[in-house]
Structure 1
Amino acid sequence: MKKIAAVILTKNEEKNIKDVIENVLNCVDEVIVIDSGSNDATAFLAENNGARVLYREWDEDFSAQRNFVLDKTDADYILYIDADERMSTELIKSVKNVVTKCDVKQYSFMRQIEAFGFEYKHGIFAPDEVTRLFPRTEVKWEHKVHERPVCHLPKQKLSGTLMHYTYDSWQQWLNKAGQYTSIWAEDSFNKGKRVGKSAALTHGFYGFIRAYFLQLGFLDGWAGLYSSLQHFFYTLLKYWKLYELQQKNK
């Protein structure tokens, strides 16, 4: 039977790390935590619950964190899971079944998002399909933020659900929005992307329209409205930061 390793990126995840390790150990042979410098009990709890903890200094590059593990294990398959995600019983069975069959494919499954205590059905937090299980030697990740896997194997969608228990407060969302938009703006600037003031505003307004109307966020009531407003602010912020970088580097 092929060996499978779960990979979890962490930074101060002491409230989540024990539960996520217990969850993934139902279908993997090894759990590897890639920590970027936690100053809480994350590493201690991870090791005490059966994970191997590796440290990689944070350089504002999520893909680099994910790629770091690829030569640190001899596992045949890599399953990427975030600390605030949990696999359903059905998904755990699906993962075990495909690894037993040893098919050389990449595998996706549906992710359901719960944010601010609300389980979203529409809008920017609507359920989405994510690809997270790969033969170890067949995947690389790209982009510093909002990273995506590059794998040229056929893709198969598995049954079951990945629950993502994301933001539990506005402050947590603001902290991550600030971090992600800064990384995006700097990376985009270095790649030659440019934007004007009016274009930054246009991107922000379109982000709201897409989330609230095109993706039917209004069907989620007040939760859909404020998540769409968040997306407006997030989109505007990342383009405005790009504009500021242009001005500073003239």
Structure 2
Amino acid sequence: MQPRLAILILTYNEEKNIGLCMDSASFADEIVVVDSGSTDQTAAIVAEKGGKIVVHPMVDGFAGQRNFALTQTQAEWVLFLDADERLAPEVEEEVWRIMERGDAFAYEILRKNIVFGQPVFHGGHAPDWSLRFYPRAAIRWEGIVHEAAKVTLPVKRLHACMFHHTYQDWERYFFKLNQYTTMLAQKMHEAGKRASFGAICFRPLAGFFKFYVLKSGWRDGKMGFILAAFHAFYTMAKYVKLWTLQRKGGR
């Protein structure tokens, strides 16, 4: 019997992205969208395009949401997508060929990042390999914000790629920045980590140097500088929030 493929997508207010994302994945046997409570037209668009929509509050972070998604299909193979990602046309032929062979491997796929409409090839956004395609029984996700896929199989890489249309407007960028830094600070606090004022001052500078110099972000021009600068701000926000939690907790 031919193995089945499910594309699993997490959403929250993704009406601008979900349609094109699903179109790029239309070759799958099933598209399952796990939504954490959208107030826009996300659910209606998913239903219109024939996807399965499941509303599930995000109570255990992104890893918990992805693990829940795994329980919403019986397909033998799964491929995770984010709503702002698009699969290249070559993905279809490659994944079906892998499934037909019954390969006992998990697969990374290269994400080509497009930031505010500009492709970026350096800094913290490249190269960006993400472990997304595998037999459903071989995968589990761990982590709160920057979740990671844990697999029980050897890992290979797909030849085909995906396109990641990340940060298409500044409002969404700052929404995610605020959301992620709050969750990371809480996770660090619960793990007993502390933030000194020195960390607040110097870790952002180290982050900028890493992204802009060591990872050649300067080669992406003005956008490379902007992204490195905002990575520094992201780092500072995370440690300021951790520092605030310490003070509230009397630590």
Give the shorter-chain TM-score range: over 0.9
Q: Tell me if 1:216 matches 2:216.
A: yes
C-alpha displacement of 1:136: 0.8
Does the 8 Å contact 2:58/2:64 carry over to 1? no
90-99 or 101-110: bigger deviation: 90-99
SS at match of 2:33: strand
In the superposition, the TM-score normalised over structure 1's length comes to 0.96
Deviations 1:164-212 (A, max 9, x none): 0011122221111000000000011111111211012221111100000
Distance in 1 separating the partners of 2:50 and 2:162: 22
Distance in 1 separating the partners of 2:249 and 2:132: 38
Which residue number in structure 1 is paired with residue 21 of structure 2? 20
In the superposition, the TM-score normalised over structure 2's length comes to 0.96
Does the 8 Å contact 1:110/1:130 carry over to 2? yes
Which residue number in structure 2 is paired with residue 174 of structure 1? 174
Number of equivalenced pairs: 249
Distance in 1 separating the partners of 2:60 and 2:198: 28
Percent of aligned pairs with the same amino acid: 36
Distance in 1 separating the partners of 2:200 and 2:134: 36
Which residue number in structure 2 is paired with residue 239 of structure 1? 239
Which residue number in structure 1 is paired with residue 31 of structure 2? 31
Structure 1 residue runs without a partner (length 5+): none
SS at match of 2:209: helix
Where has structure 1 moved over 6 Å in runs of 4 or more?
none
Q: Tell me if 1:112 matches 2:99.
A: no
Distance in 1 separating the partners of 2:55 and 2:170: 29
Which residue number in structure 1 is paired with residue 40 of structure 2? 40
Does the 8 Å contact 2:19/2:46 carry over to 1? yes
Distance in 1 separating the partners of 2:146 and 2:226: 21
C-alpha displacement of 1:156: 0.9
C-alpha displacement of 1:60: 6.0
